[in-house]
Structure 1
Amino acid sequence: MADSMFGKDVSKNIEGDSVPKDHVYLEETFYILSKKNSVFRVRLTSKGLSLTKETDGSSKEQTILLRDIIGSKCMRSKRRRHGASSCVCSSLVGPQQLKVVEENSGDLDENDISAYLYIYSYILKRSRRSWKRERTTITLRFRSFDKYEDNNREAQKWRTTIKCLIAGQPITYVPPLNDKKILILLNPKSGPGKARELFQTKVAPILQEAEVPYDLHVTKYAQFAREFVRTRNVYAWRTIVAVGGDGVLFEILNGMFERLDWQQALSEIPLAIIPCGSGNGLARTICHLYNEPYITQNLTGISMALVKNRITPMDVVRIETKTKIMFSFLSVGWGLLSDIDIESERLRAIGGQRFAVWAVARLLGLRRYRGVISYVKIKDVTNLPKPKQPLTLSHSVSQDGALDSPDAEAFIDCDENSEVFSNAVNGKHHQRVDSWYSVNSRRSAFYSTRGSEYHSVTSGGSEMRSPVHACMHGPASHLPSLVSQLPSHWVHEEGEFVMVHVAYQPYIGEDFLFAPRSTLSDGVMWMLIIKAGISRSQLLSFLLGIGQGSHAEINNEYVKMIPVSAFRIVPEGSSGYLTVDGELVEYGPIQAEIFPNVVNLIVPDLK
C-alpha cells in the first residue's frame, strides 16, 4: 500500500462550509508512518481533496477545497550524505526530515523507489478578528509497486488530475498544456517602493508552486507600461498583470485603447492587478466583491487568482478633457479628496497613511471651488442588469498564429540588450539579473519557475521605440463635444463646492468604501457632491464614515450621492486639481460616460 506524510499545518474546513459529496476521480489509502494503527483514506473529487483519518476505530474527516489548491509536484527522495542515519525509514518519521529533489536531479536516492506528490494549497482560516489564508502542504508517498517508474506513474496520475480540475478542463491524464506566459509589468516606485520585494516574497512563490510561467518587466520611466502594451504583440501572453498601484493599471488600460485592435485585445486578454501602491482601490474592490481577505502587503489571495484564471467583465469610463481622451476604471475627482490625493504625494514613503495625515491638513485649510456640475441621473438602480458570473479562461486565441512562433518570440518578449534571468530551457542558459534577486537568498529558487523570465530595469540601451504616433481609440462617445450645449434632460447645479467625486467601484482606496452599492459591471457611476457651507465637524464625520460606507446614506442640503450614467464638470478659475484614477489631469472642463463590460478582469473564485 501507499504511505503518506501529512504536514502539521493541514487544517479543517472553514466554519460553516459544508462539502457535499461529489464525483470521485481517484481514491487511495495511505498509512501514517509515525503512528500505529492510523491510516488516511484520500479521495480526489470535483470538490477537492477529502482526507479521512482512521485511528483505532474512530474517524475524522476534513476537506481541502479545490478552489484553495493551486498546484502539485512529483518529487523523489534525496541521496543521504555520509554520516547520516543508516535507517532506511528514519527520514520518514516527520515531515521536516524528508529531503526531496526533482527527478532530473543528480542527487537522487536510488534505494528509495517511492514517488512523492506534493500538493500546495492556501486555506482560509479565521484569525482573531478576520479571515486569512494559511499555506498548507500535503505530501503523499506512493510505493505500492517494486519499481520507481510504476510508483511515479501513479503519482503523476494524481498530479495530472489535480491540474485538470484546477484548470477546469476534462480529466485526460495528460497534463493540460497552456504554454502562454503571463505578462507582469511592475512599477518599482509604487507606494512606499516595495513592489519588487513584495513580488519576490509573496507572488513569485505561488506562481512557482502552480507552475505558471511569466515574463516580468520592470517599468523604466513614466508611461513605460502604456507604451509597452501599445507597441508589443500582446497576444503572446494570456494575461497582463499590473504590479503596483492603480496608476500602472491605468497606463496599461489606456495603452490597450491606443491599439487599432483594442476591441479584440481586450476581449482575448484579461487584465489583473497585484496591489503594491498606496491607494489600491481596484484590488480592494475585487477582494470585497469576491469575499477574499484583504490584508495590506499580504498578496496571497489575489495572487492565487492568477493561477485560477477566472475572469469577469468590468465597466470602463470614457473621459474627455480639452486636449485628451482617456479611459478610467476607478474614479474622477475634483476638490477635497483630489487635493488630499495629490498633495500627500510628498508623504508617499509612509504608504496609505499619507491620506489620513493630509486629510487633517485640508480640513484645517478648507477650500471652496466654484463651477457647474451637470449629469444624467439614473432614476432606478434596482432594475439594472446583474453582473455576469466569472468564467474560466483556458487559453487566449492569438490574433496571428505566426506571431507566436519561436522566431518571433525574441522580438516580442525582450528589449534589446536586456539582461534575462531564467532557468535552463531547451539547454539554453541566460545571464543573471541585477542584485535585488538576492534580497532574500533563501527565496531565490522561486524565480526558477519553468519558462519564466525577468527583464532588468538596469539594462542599457533598451528603451522601446514607438513605431507610430499614439492615437486613442475605443468605443465612440454618445455625448456632445466638451464645448457644446448639453441636452435638456441633463441636471445642472451651479455654485461653490467643497468636492465632487465620481466613483464606479465600491472602494477607491484600501480604506475608502466610497460606493457600497457599486459592482464591477453595473453601468453606474456614483457621484458624491458636497456643497460649500458644510461645517468642518460634518466633514470630519464624513471622512470618518467613508471607511464603512455610511456616508452613502447621507442626503441633506450639503451632501448627496447620485447614481449617474454621464456627467460634466466645468470648474471656474485655474487653481485646483482634477484626478482620474488618482492621476492628475489638466484643470478645466471634463466630461465622462460609462461603457459596460468592455474589459475582462482576473478575479478570485466565488465563495
Structure 2
Amino acid sequence: MADSQQSKDVMNVVEGEYSDSKEHVYLQETFYILSKKNSVFRVRLTSKGLSLAKETDGNCKEQTILLRDIVGSKCMRSKRRRPGAGSCVCSSLVGPHQLKVVDENSGDLDENDISAYLYVYAYILKRSRRTLKRERTTITLRFRSYDKYDDNNREAQKWRATLKCLIAGQPITYSPPVNDKKLLILLNPKSGPGKAREQFQTKVAPILQEAEVPYDLHVTKYAQYAREFVRTRNVYAWRGVVAVGGDGVLFEVLNGMFERLDWQQAFEEVPLAIMPCGSGNGLARSICHLYNEPYIPQNLTGLTMALARGKSTHMDVVRVETKTKIMFSFLSVGWGLLSDIDIESERLRAMGGQRFAVWAVARILGLRKYKGVVSYLKIKDISNLPKPKQPLTLSHSVSQDGALDSPDAEAFIDCDEHSEVFSNARSGRHQRVDSWYSVNSRRSAFFSTRGSEYHSVTSENSEMRSPVHVCMHGPASHLPSLMSQLPSNWVHEQGEFIMVHVSYQSYIGEDFLFAPRSQLCDGVMWMLIIKAGVSRSQLLSFLVNAGQASHVEMNSEYIKMVPVSAFRIVPEGPDGILTVDGELVEYGPIQAEIFPNIVKLLVPDNK
C-alpha cells in the first residue's frame, strides 16, 4: 500500500536535485510506502525520462526509465493490472522483492477508493548473459493527496499529458497531443511459416494499444493486393504504411507507391515500416543492427516501439530494369547460388528460415556455374562520398504489361480475385508466396487499439478498383538503355560465375551479415562476385560464417566485394534464376542504379 504527498509541481523547467546540467525536471512527487517504515520514492519526470529515487533510512538508490523506452501511459480509477504485466515502480529498484504501490484492498472500479492511478508502460533494454533484450515494466503511481477523486485524477492527468508531450517531442501542455491518423497495416498471412496473424495479435497489437496508436488492419488476399492498395487509395489518410510479413510484402508496397503520379509527395509524407514475419527478414534485421536494437526472431518489441514513437529516416532505393520491366528495390539483386537457394527452397517453407541452410547444402553438392558478363561502376572512395541529393523528377516508366511507356490516363475496372490468381497460374512462372496471393481465411478476432479496425478478407468493402494500364514512375535513370553500350569508365568481367549478389543493406537475412559497412542512406551498393574455380570448402566456409561477414575479407582470385553505384548483368543461356528483393524476375539482362533519399522509413529511437 502506498500514499502520496504532493510536493511542488514544476511545470516551468527547473533543475532537479539529482539531475545533471542538461536534465530538466517538469514534475516531481513524493510517494510513501506504508508497508516499509521510513521508505519513500521521490519520482521526477524529466527531459531524460522517469527518475525513481528510493530513500530508506538516509540511503538513496536511483534509477531512470529512459524516455525512449516508454511507449505510453494510462490513468484509471482503481487498480487494474493485466495478467503477466510488469511490476510496480518499486520492482525496478529492489529486484525480486516486489513492494506493493497499490492498495491490496482496492478492487476494480472501487467507488470508495478516491485515488487516481497512473500506469506508465516501458520496455527497458537489459543485458541477459551476452545478449540484450527488452523487458516489459509497468510503473504504477497512486495519487491520493486530495479527498476527492476528481482532484487526484487531475494531478495524474497532468503527469500523463506531460509525459505524452515529451514522448511526442512537442511543447509541454496540460492537454496531451492527439494524432487522429491511423497506421495502415497490410498483413500477409502466408509469409514465412504462416504465423503473421498470430504474431501481430500477440506481439504488436498490445504495444500499439499501450501507446494509444490506432490502426487499420487489412489482410492480403491475392497477388499484388498490397501493391494495388497503396496505388489506388488515399495514403495521406494514414500516418504510415506497415508491411507485416516477409520482405516481399514491402516490395509490393514500395512498387505500388512508385506507380502513383504523386510518388514523391507520398514517400515524403507517408513513411513505410516493416514487421518481420517472413523467412528472410533482411531489412528488419538491418534496421535493428544500425539502431542498436536487439533482434530476436518472433520478438517484434523494438520495431513495434518504432511504430509508436514515429521517428523516421531516409532510405536509398535501387531502380532495376529488365527487358520488359522496371521495378524498385530496397534490399538486393541476386544471380546464381544465393538466388537458387532462396527460390528453390520454397518447397521447404514450413521450416521457416532453416530452409535456407538445408537447401544450401544441396546446392553446394550440386554446384552450378553460370556464364555471362558482369559490368559495374565502381565507387573508388566510399569514405568520401558526396552528400546524397534528392532525385530528379520522373522520366520514362514501364507499365505492368511490360511495355515501356509514359504516364497516361488511368482507366479503372473492378479487380476480380479469382481471375488474377488463375491468370498468374496459367503463366507457368514461379511466384514467391511471400508476395503472392494470400488465401481467403475466416474472420479473426484481433486485439486492437481503441479506434482501430480489422478489415476481414471477406469484407464487402475490401474490394479495390485496379487500373487497366499502370505506369511505373520514379526518378529519372542516368544509365544507357539496357541493350546499349556502357560508358568507358565501367569495369567488365566475363566468364563463369558461381554467383553475383548485390545488396544495399547490411543484412540480407536474419543471420546473413552481407555488408557490414552499409547504411540505410549512403548511395552505395555492395557487389559480391564469386567466380567459378572456387573450392566447395571455401563456399561452405562463406555460408557457414555468413553471420560474421567473413567474405568481406576474402578478396582473392575467385571472391571479391566491390562497392558500386550501378551495375549490369548479362547472363548467357536461357536457364537460371534472377531475384530482386528475393522475388523471382525474368531471366536475362538486368541493370540497376541507386538513388539516395527516396523513402522515409520508421526506425527505432536508439541510435
Per the normalisation by structure 2, the TM-score is 0.84
Cα–Cα, structure 1 residues 508 and 96, in superposed 2: closer, same or farther, change >3 Å? farther
User: Greater shift after overlay, 115-124 or 537-546?
Assistant: 537-546
CA distance in 2, matches of 1:590, 1:96: 68
- CA-atom RMSD, angstroms? 2.2
Q: Counterpart of 1:502? A: 502
Q: Counterpart of 1:532? A: 532
Aligned identity (percent) is 83
Q: Counterpart of 1:251? A: 252
Deviation at 1:466, TM superposition (A): 1.4
Q: Counterpart of 1:196? A: 197
Structure 1: segments with no counterpart, 5+ residues: 6-17, 80-91, 102-107, 389-414, 416-432, 438-443
Q: Counterpart of 1:543? A: 543
Q: Counterpart of 1:160? A: 161
Cα–Cα, structure 1 residues 19 and 314, in superposed 2: closer, same or farther, change >3 Å? farther
Aligned AA (2:152):
N
Q: Is the 8 A contact 1:52 1:62 kept in 2?
A: yes
- Secondary structure of the structure 2 residue equivalent to 1:113: coil
Q: Counterpart of 1:479? A: 479
Deviation at 1:129, TM superposition (A): 2.1
Cα–Cα, structure 1 residues 226 and 574, in superposed 2: closer, same or farther, change >3 Å? same
Q: Is the 8 A contact 1:75 1:100 kept in 2?
A: no
Cα–Cα, structure 1 residues 562 and 157, in superposed 2: closer, same or farther, change >3 Å? same
Cα–Cα, structure 1 residues 337 and 347, in superposed 2: closer, same or farther, change >3 Å? same
Aligned AA (1:497):
F
Cα–Cα, structure 1 residues 486 and 98, in superposed 2: closer, same or farther, change >3 Å? farther
Structure 2: segments with no counterpart, 5+ residues: 6-18, 81-98, 390-415, 417-440
Aligned residue runs from structure 1 range 101-500, under 5 A: 108-385=109-386, 436-437=444-445, 446-447=447-448, 449-459=449-459, 462-467=462-467, 469-500=469-500
Aligned AA (1:303):
T
Q: Counterpart of 1:427? A: none
- Secondary structure of the structure 1 residue equivalent to 2:466: coil
Aligned AA (1:456):
S
Deviation at 1:96, TM superposition (A): 9.7
CA distance in 2, matches of 1:19, 1:317: 45
Aligned AA (1:436):
S
Aligned residue runs from structure 1 range 19-58, under 5 A: 22-58=23-59
Aligned AA (2:374):
I
Cα–Cα, structure 1 residues 505 and 152, in superposed 2: closer, same or farther, change >3 Å? same
Q: Is the 8 A contact 1:3 1:140 kept in 2?
A: no
Is 1:520 the equivalent of 2:528?
A: no
CA distance in 1, matches of 2:141, 2:515: 47
Deviation at 1:2, TM superposition (A): 7.7
Q: Is the 8 A contact 1:4 1:33 kept in 2?
A: no
Q: Is the 8 A contact 1:115 1:155 kept in 2?
A: yes
Deviations 1:20-72 (A, max 9, x none): 75100000001123322211000000100000001111111011000000000
Q: Counterpart of 1:10? A: none
Deviation at 1:470, TM superposition (A): 1.4
Deviations 1:269-325 (A, max 9, x none): 100001000000000000000000000000001100001111110000000001100
Aligned AA (2:273):
A
CA distance in 1, matches of 2:296, 2:502: 26
Q: Is the 8 A contact 2:388 2:596 kept in 1?
A: no
Q: Counterpart of 2:14? A: none
CA distance in 1, matches of 2:105, 2:573: 71
Is 1:575 the equivalent of 2:583?
A: no
CA distance in 2, matches of 1:98, 1:523: 61
- Secondary structure of the structure 2 residue equivalent to 1:474: coil
Cα–Cα, structure 1 residues 20 and 534, in superposed 2: closer, same or farther, change >3 Å? farther
Deviations 1:234-270 (A, max 9, x none): 0000100000010000000000000000000001110
> Number of aligned pairs?
527
Cα–Cα, structure 1 residues 145 and 493, in superposed 2: closer, same or farther, change >3 Å? same
CA distance in 1, matches of 2:204, 2:189: 15
Deviation at 1:547, TM superposition (A): 1.2
User: Greater shift after overlay, 360-369 or 479-488?
Assistant: 479-488
Deviations 1:364-391 (A, max 9, x none): 0000000001110000001125789xxx
CA distance in 2, matches of 1:129, 1:489: 47
Q: Is the 8 A contact 1:2 1:29 kept in 2?
A: no
Deviation at 1:458, TM superposition (A): 3.0
- Secondary structure of the structure 2 residue equivalent to 1:267: helix
CA distance in 1, matches of 2:279, 2:287: 16
Cα–Cα, structure 1 residues 51 and 262, in superposed 2: closer, same or farther, change >3 Å? same
User: Greater shift after overlay, 92-101 or 30-39?
Assistant: 92-101
Cα–Cα, structure 1 residues 495 and 471, in superposed 2: closer, same or farther, change >3 Å? same
- Secondary structure of the structure 2 residue equivalent to 1:302: helix
Q: Counterpart of 2:565? A: 565
- Secondary structure of the structure 1 residue equivalent to 2:223: coil
Q: Is the 8 A contact 1:26 1:44 kept in 2?
A: yes
CA distance in 2, matches of 1:68, 1:185: 26
Q: Is the 8 A contact 1:113 1:151 kept in 2?
A: yes
Cα–Cα, structure 1 residues 523 and 78, in superposed 2: closer, same or farther, change >3 Å? closer
CA distance in 1, matches of 2:106, 2:198: 28
Q: Is the 8 A contact 2:187 2:218 kept in 1?
A: yes
Deviations 1:120-158 (A, max 9, x none): 000001112200000000010001111111111000000
CA distance in 2, matches of 1:462, 1:68: 36
- Secondary structure of the structure 1 residue equivalent to 2:576: coil
Per the normalisation by structure 1, the TM-score is 0.84
Q: Is the 8 A contact 2:2 2:34 kept in 1?
A: no
Deviation at 1:529, TM superposition (A): 0.4
Cα–Cα, structure 1 residues 287 and 385, in superposed 2: closer, same or farther, change >3 Å? farther
Aligned AA (2:208):
L
Aligned AA (1:248):
V
User: Greater shift after overlay, 30-39 or 575-584?
Assistant: 30-39
Q: Is the 8 A contact 2:186 2:217 kept in 1?
A: yes
- Secondary structure of the structure 2 residue equivalent to 1:345: helix
